[in-house]
Chain A
Amino acid sequence: MTEAAKGPESFLPLTPAVFHILLALADGEKHGYAIMQEVEDMTEGKVQMGPGTLYGSIKRMLAGGLIEESDDRPDPTLDDERRRYYRHTELGRKVLRQETERMAELMALARRKHVWSGVG
């Protein structure tokens, strides 16, 4: 069975890098540096991925069928044609949703156990 033929649950739990990359691509396709910047912005600088982590994760996500390369360019006149753009696959979207649900369940559990108040 190829990795892409696996169900979404087989990818869980995601590594922090893969989760952040999928989240960064949630609002559209991006190239490597844009993904890196989006992750930094989303996390207010708490997560800073190096090029090795970024492209190592991208390699595994492509192999797993979570993302795919895109030939589209938001504005071809403003962009460098050597850049590769990446976007979610349908499987990637399902995996991101399931991982988010899994985290939400964990947070609900933490709230029930009075470990976390649910604010801040």
Chain B
Amino acid sequence: MRESHRAPASIDLSVRIYTWLLAAYPARFRADYGPHMVQVFREVCRRESRRGGLPGMTGLWARTSLDLIRTSVEEHIERGIDMTRENFVRWSGWALMAGAVLFAAGLIIGSFDSNWEDPIGGVDAFYEISQIVGVVFGQILFVIGLLGLRAGYASRSGGLGSAVLLIAVIGGIVSLGGMLFMNSSEIGWGAWALGLVTMTLALTVYGVVTIRRKVFSRWNFAPLLTGVMIPALFGIGIAMEASGASLAEWTFPLGVSATSIGLILLGFRMQAEAASTSQALA
């Protein structure tokens, strides 16, 4: 049926972002099916926004992002891409950098949302959608980046390093999976937070390994910088809450910024080493 009324701004923004993201598909597939995929996504957005508000849209974006990544890779593979391990590590380095920027931007912009509980739309629509897109895509890119880190460096990191990298990947996946259920269950929120803390704790341990073993040619502190802030803030926050106090507001942007800087440095190192030294990838 033809739509006679205008969609809310938040849906228009989501659809615009999805249309932009279709660039991930091969041009031929995009030309044949892109407009239809956008039309379907718009209708699902309307439904989820009506039914579930912000958590519903978060779940939709989580599902759609995973779908987009998986199926765009499938379409490219069908076309025939030679994805060597070196290429994968290089691209996953870029994924970590892009993920860090999206994650930080999503959380920081989202912190301006004046009411977390209200349905998506109105004056806060920009903050709400930016947060959903930034956090969901940021975390998907983290998982891709961590898979690349493990593919490229596990054998040079020893048994402990390899194991904690696997734990970091699992933590990232658990956190991402938690987003799928944020709409329907408190468990979703718990899984998101637990996965994120697990991922960053594992990276903290990996940071100690990289410093001791000099896994990278330089900036071996980057995984430690990436990992340490989120678990530290969680721990301090819980301890302060128990004593009736709360963390100062500036600690949140500080933690997110430090984590993002660490991820950017780590991602840059990965793509630079993969591009320049094939022997680095044992």
Contacts and interface: CB of A to CB of B under 8 A. Distances in A.
A51 B2 contact: no
Interface string B178-215: 00000000000000000000000000000000000000
Interface stretch (A20-28, A54-62, A90-98, A105-113): A54-62
B33 A33 contact: no
Interface in A37-86: 48-56, 58-59, 78-80, 82-84
Given A51-B64, A51-B67, A80-B2, A32 B39 contact: yes
A82 B39 contact: yes
A32 B36 CA distance: 8
B219 interface: no
Contact of B66 (A36, A50, A83): A50
B1 interface: yes
Interface in B27-47: 29, 32-33, 35-41, 43-44
A36 B40 contact: yes
Contacts, number: 61
B74 interface: yes
Interface residues of B, number: 25
Interface size class of A (residues with CB under 8 A): 20 to 34
Contacts of A84: 36
Contact of B63 (A48, A54, A59): A48
Q: Which of B64, B67, B74 has the most CB of A within 10 A?
A: B67
Contacts of B64: 50-51
Contact of A56 (B39, B43, B71): B71
Nearest to B64: A50
Contacts of A56: 29, 71, 74-75
A79 B1 contact: yes
Nearest to B66: A50
A79 B2 CA distance: 6
A72 B117 CA distance: 44
Interface string B1-17: 11000000000000000
**When A and B form their complex, which 4 residue pairs have the shortest distance between CB atoms, in order from nearest?**
A50-B67, A52-B71, A51-B37, A55-B33
Interface of B: 1-2, 25, 29, 32-33, 35-41, 43-44, 63-64, 66-68, 70-72, 74-75
13 contacts: A33-B39, A33-B40, A33-B44, A50-B68, A50-B71, A51-B36, A52-B25, A52-B68, A52-B71, A56-B29, A79-B1, A82-B35, A83-B36
